């Protein structure tokens, strides 16, 4: 028999009161119409702005919908996610970033979908999103991409290896993930030591669903193939060092799971290595090849990666300096034609748009991570 609350929405926030206000204005009117099937769990990670005041005003208006936690100190993003998840009492729990939104009637769509799920072995649901930019001149919303798969039905099963190998679209995007809360609570009880060691590896949500699918082989992942989440993109500049950091964190996560015998070498995939190499090639092709220093990158590779990985990364990194960007663009265009056929043009337009507009801002590097990380 199901709980009264079908869905908990776990919102993580820290010093982004305007974004949180916008999200709550978006989500609470939808939640109010769902006859007590939804609860909103907000965990404030010791914000120093007016986040508390924003939440309290909404809590006055929607007292039965909002549960609120305020950490006495900043716990870091991973522990704040865990805190928000632990607050939840629904059959399912949806992790949600404070700067994303749910499309109109999107929450009703999710609730209707969850009510149709009769099997208790559904461990994870991944919803689809649209990404947009606001035109600086006109102020209009420009939707440039979505993760909707037009070749798939409204719901379809996600391959286990694509979940654990992080190769399914949006599998690391926090606002796209809906967990089976019963299984999640069981993992919190039985695998707390692994979770604690996983703090600061990649993203804590990746550890949680990896544990879930490795520990319980019978559960399944489902894609809800409808646009549910709306995400405004901000411009940023991807540095090679930062992307390499993500690769190292994934490797650390794999080692952690291997050490507890939940994982085997089958899941330590080459996809992450190839993704990093592909990223370098695309940045070079579109002249957004950002790095802090040539020698610094090489030192980073050999300090934190295995010798084989470091050698291959360094070789690609060095060769890319010798190839003109126009040649790489032509090669990439040919590859798109081969892989996507007549649809290559749309892919090319998207990649061009992202690299000429989105990847032109700034990005702050997490230097504290490197100071605290010990090479294997």
Q: What is the pLDDT of residues 283-318, one digit of tens each?
A: 899 888 888 899 999 999 999 988 999 999 999 999
Q: Is the domain of 227 the same as that of 360?
A: no
Phi and psi angles of residue 317, each rounded to the nearest 5 degrees, phi first: -55, -40
Q: Is the domain of 197 the same as that of 81?
A: yes
For the stretch 89-147, pLDDT in tens is: 999 999 999 999 999 999 999 999 999 987 779 999 999 999 887 777 787 877 777 88
Q: Is the domain of 346 the same as that of 292?
A: yes
Q: Is the domain of 217 the same as that of 279?
A: no
Give the span between the Cα atoms of 12 and 19, in whole angstroms.
11
Residue that is written with structure tokens 């995007």 in the block = 173
Residue that is written with structure tokens 């080692």 in the block = 255
Assigned domain for 2 exists = no
Last residue of a domain, one of 196, 215, 232: 232
Q: What percent of the chain has pLDDT over 90?
A: 59
We report the CATH number of the domain holding residue 55 as 3.90.550.10
Q: What percent of the chain has pLDDT over 70?
A: 91
Count CB neighbours of 56 within 10 A. Answer: 12
- What pLDDT was estimated at residue 266? 53
Assigned domain for 195 exists = yes
Assigned domain for 342 exists = yes
Assigned domain for 187 exists = yes
Give the span between the Cα atoms of 9 and 344, in whole angstroms.
37
For the stretch 54-102, pLDDT in tens is: 999 999 999 999 999 999 999 999 999 999 999 999 999 999 999 999 9
Q: Is the domain of 351 the same as that of 271?
A: yes
Instruction: Check pLDDT > 60 for residue 373.
Output: no
Assigned domain for 1 exists = no
Lowest mean pLDDT among 136-150, 209-223, 260-274: 260-274
Q: How confident is the model at residue 349 (pLDDT cuts 50, 70, 90)?
A: confident
Lowest mean pLDDT among 23-32, 36-45, 255-264, 330-339: 255-264
Give the span between the Cα atoms of 174 and 181, in whole angstroms.
15
Q: Is the domain of 127 the same as that of 89?
A: yes
Q: Is the domain of 126 the same as that of 275?
A: no
Give the span between the Cα atoms of 180 and 220, in whole angstroms.
10
Q: Is the domain of 26 the same as that of 137?
A: yes
Tell me if 44 sits within 8 A of 55, measured CB to CB.
Answer: yes
- What pLDDT was estimated at residue 260? 72
Last residue of a domain, one of 204, 232, 260: 232
87: which 2 tokens?
A: 């607050």
Q: Is the domain of 252 the same as that of 227?
A: no
Q: Is the domain of 227 the same as that of 251?
A: no
Q: Is the domain of 26 the same as that of 102?
A: yes
Q: Which residue has the higher pLDDT, 126 or 234?
A: 126
Instruction: Check pLDDT > 50 for residue 238.
Output: yes
| Count of structural domains within the chain | 2
Sign of the C-alpha dihedral computed for residues 142, 148, 150 and 155 taken in this order: negative
Q: Is the domain of 245 the same as that of 220?
A: no
Helix axes 77-87, 204-215, angle to 10 degrees: 60
Last residue of a domain, one of 185, 205, 232: 232
Mean pLDDT of 160-171: 87
Domain residues for the domain of 350 are: 240-372
Tell me if 274 sits within 8 A of 312, measured CB to CB.
Answer: no
């Amino acid at each position: 028999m199901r709980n009264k609350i079908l869905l908990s929405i776990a919102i993580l926030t820290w010093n982004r009161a305007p974004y949180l206000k916008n999200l709550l204005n978006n989500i609470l009117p939808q939640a109010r119409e769902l006859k007590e099937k939804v609860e909103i769990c907000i965990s404030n990670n010791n914000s120093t702005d007016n986040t508390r005041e924003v939440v309290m005003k909404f809590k006055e208006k929607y007292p039965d919908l909002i549960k609120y936690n305020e950490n006495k100190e900043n716990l870091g993003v991973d522990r704040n996610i865990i805190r928000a998840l632990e607050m939840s009492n629904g059959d399912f729990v949806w992790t949600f970033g404070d700067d994303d939104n749910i499309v109109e009637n999107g929450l009703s769509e999710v609730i209707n979908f969850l009510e149709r799920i009769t099997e208790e072995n559904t461990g994870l649901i991944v919803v689809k999103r649209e990404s947009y930019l606001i035109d600086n001149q006109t102020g209009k919303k420009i939707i440039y991409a979505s993760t909707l798969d037009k070749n798939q039905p409204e719901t379809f099963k996600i391959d286990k290896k694509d979940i654990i190998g992080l190769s399914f679209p949006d599998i690391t995007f926090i606002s796209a993930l809906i967990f089976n809360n019963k299984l999640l609570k069981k993992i919190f009880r039985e695998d707390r030591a692994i979770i604690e060691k996983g703090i600061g590896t990649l993203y804590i949500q990746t550890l949680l669903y990896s544990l879930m699918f490795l520990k319980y082989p019978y559960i399944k992942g489902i894609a809800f193939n409808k646009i549910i989440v709306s995400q405004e993109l901000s411009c940023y500049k991807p540095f090679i060092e930062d992307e390499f950091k993500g690769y190292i964190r994934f490797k650390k996560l794999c080692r952690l799971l291997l050490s507890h015998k939940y994982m085997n070498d089958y899941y330590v995939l080459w996809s992450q290595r190839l993704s990093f190499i592909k990223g370098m090639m695309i940045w070079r092709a579109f002249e957004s090849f950002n790095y802090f220093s040539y020698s610094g990158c090489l030192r980073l590779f050999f300090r934190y990666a295995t010798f084989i990985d470091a050698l291959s990364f360094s070789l690609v990194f060095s060769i890319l300096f010798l190839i003109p960007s126009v040649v790489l663009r032509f090669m990439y265009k040919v590859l798109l034609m081969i892989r996507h056929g007549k649809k290559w043009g749309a892919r090319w337009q998207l990649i061009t748009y992202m690299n000429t507009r989105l990847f032109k801002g700034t990005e702050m590097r997490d230097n504290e991570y490197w100071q605290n990380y010990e090479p294997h």
